[in-house]
Amino acid sequence: MIINYSNQEVIKGQKAIFLAGPTPRNENVKTWRKEACAFIEKCGFEGIVYTPEYSSWKPLEDYNHQVMWERTALSNASVIVFWIPREFPNMPGYTTNVEFGYWLHTGKVLYGRPDNAAKKKYIDWLYKIDTGNEPYTSLENLLSDAVELANKVGVIYENEVLPLNERKMMGKQNY
């Protein structure tokens, strides 16, 4: 297993799992991704784990680099795991909300959160209505299924989920 951090170049051409969800914004908040990577490795996964944090586990420094890295890695991921241990004020997951809505329709999203996560009602509802599945409440169960799905799906070559030239944009409205 290769852990591909956001301060490294995105590795392409292998089956991959992207670990999406809230990222700690300071060094005093524990990241959930260390535990996730350890568990995925224990499952024997032989692919890439895209981890949108620096290898030093410090907060991001260059916003534009970070979001472009994430977009490239998300496009190349075989499976996108959303684990949302939302907690205020340390792990609000505002960007996670947008990413979840953007990527959900791809069919490669698995979603879970602990029972005590804050503000989960809408994301739970959206996941259920769009996939027919219940959210995972165990990180280990979520990751086990992600490894199994990534092994089935295999390599996904980079593509735009919704190419810009095919998006329908609303024109200026006169209200």
Residue 168 covered by a domain: no
84 assigned to some structural domain: yes
Q: Which residue range forms the structural domain that includes residue 119?
A: 2-160
Give CA–CA dist 48/36, Å, rounded.
13
Structural domain count of the chain: 1
- CATH code, domain with 34: 3.40.50.450
Is residue 148 in some structural domain?
yes
Residue 107 lies in a domain: yes
Which pTM does this prediction carry?
0.88
| Within-domain flag for 106 | yes
Q: What is the pLDDT of residues 7-30, one digit of tens each?
A: 999 999 999 999 999 988 777 888
pLDDT one-digit tens code per residue, 56-102: 766 666 788 889 999 999 999 999 999 999 999 888 999 999 999 99
